[in-house]
Amino acid sequence: MAVSMSQKQKVYQGVLKEIRQYIVTHHLQPGDKLPSERELAETLHAGRSSIREALRAMELLGLIETKRGEGTFLSKYRPFQMVELLASFVLQEEQIKRDLVKTIRLLEKEAAKLAFCHMSKQDVDELSAILEKDEMEFVHAKFFQLIFNMSHNLLLGKVWQLMYEFAITIKSISLDKEFYEQLVQLYYNKQYAAIETLFDKMLEK
């Protein structure tokens, strides 16, 4: 009896999960060599065709690289490679583009509120200095990277970074300098509630 697509998908996803777990368990780092297809098949109790398919997907995403005559090695993760791959397929519809930018703004608003509790005067001074020293086209990424660092939420920052890298392939994400200046002033004056209002006004435009 032919195997259904859903069953194949489960096998494939299971093999990917097992390979990932193998990498974690054996503390493999970028540049380390993976076992051969045969060795992985024996270790993970999976068919070699499933192992080959999973490795091919990982190579496409830039997670591993194959060197002829040497074997398969872990690559250093390069987010821009993923961005370029997905942007060409995902970011074609105008509504998706608008939703992406809006989602980025919502993440930035939450990070700005979370950072409020951890922001020292020195941190606010650093935000202010970014506005004085950098060209406006580079301000947004540096400004909000610091805010996400101050939010103490690593996952939120990683999600924002990936989405931001998606977005800048299609349009500028920068805001008017006045917005950044107003946010800095709210931090200086310790006006937490006004952060929500500032972002909401910007989102309405």
pLDDT tens-digit profile of 156-165?
998 898 888 7
What pLDDT, on the 0 to 100 scale, is given for residue 36?
92
> How does pLDDT run across 56-79, given as a tens digit for each residue?
877 766 778 888 889 999 887 555
What are the residues whose beta carbons fall under 8 Å from the beta carbon of 30, sequence distance 6 or more?
Answer: 74, 75, 76, 77
SS3 state of residue 73: strand
The percent of residues in the chain predicted with pLDDT above 90, rounded, is 40
* Helix, coil or strand: residue 74: strand
The fold for domain 81-204 equals Four Helix Bundle (Hemerythrin (Met), subunit A) (1.20.120)
User: What's the whole-model pTM score?
Assistant: 0.60
Q: What would the two tokens of residue 95 be?
A: 């509504």
Ranges for all domains in the chain classified under CATH 1.20.120.530: 81-204
Residues of the chain with CATH 1.10.10.10: 5-74
Position 9 scores a pLDDT of 52
Look at domain 5-74 and name its CATH class: mainly alpha
Mean pLDDT split into 10-residue runs, the chain, 205 residues: 45 77 86 92 88 80 82 73 54 73 93 95 94 78 93 90 78 88 96 95 83
Q: Which residue has the tokens 């192992």?
A: 51
What pLDDT does 5 receive? 37
- Tell the burial category of 52 from Cβ atoms under 10 Å away from its Cβ (0-12, 13-18, 19+): middle
Q: Pick from 101, 121, 51, 52: which is nearest to 202 by CA?
A: 101
Taking the C-alpha atoms of residue 176 and residue 135, their distance in angstroms, rounded to an integer, is: 12
